[in-house]
Amino acid sequence: MTLSLTASSLLTVIVAFLPSWPALLFVRALEGLALGGVPAIAMAYLAEEVHPDGLGLTMGLYVGGTAIGGMAGRVISGILADFFSWRVAIGGIGVLGLLATLAFRTLLPPSRRFCRARGWDFAIIGRRWPGI
């Protein structure tokens, strides 16, 4: 998650300095790829670390938090763009993302229940996900 957050924040800062529309589109596509790692890993982390009785509430709080964060980012970037420019707004959101990544890395407790799987064992995957 830290890698995804760092990469997406750095790419957001880079966008503020790009000279052309195609370059902006390309880097924003890379940013979308980088952000894809966050929700998948976050849900897996929660599933491993939170007791099953509280998992639904915890995942709901995560989803709600991402919605609030997304709205806050749009409001903050709108205010920055109104007073300065879209480049300052995008760069500011990237810097806030880097600060949030530092806070995330500092505040997230280390995983206690993670068990690394070796290789691909489709029998184990089938038992864990009976709907497949």
Q: Is the pLDDT of residue 35 over 60?
A: yes
Question: For the whole prediction, is pTM greater than 0.85?
Answer: no
Q: Is the pLDDT of residue 125 over 80?
A: no
Residue 75: pLDDT band with limits 50, 70, 90? very high
**Closest listed residue to residue 6, CA positions, set 109, 95, 122:** 95
Distance between CA 2 and CA 13 in Å, rounded?
A: 17
Structure tokens at 58: 């915890």
| Tokens found for residue 17 | 């300095």
Q: Which two tokens stand for residue 4?
A: 């995804």
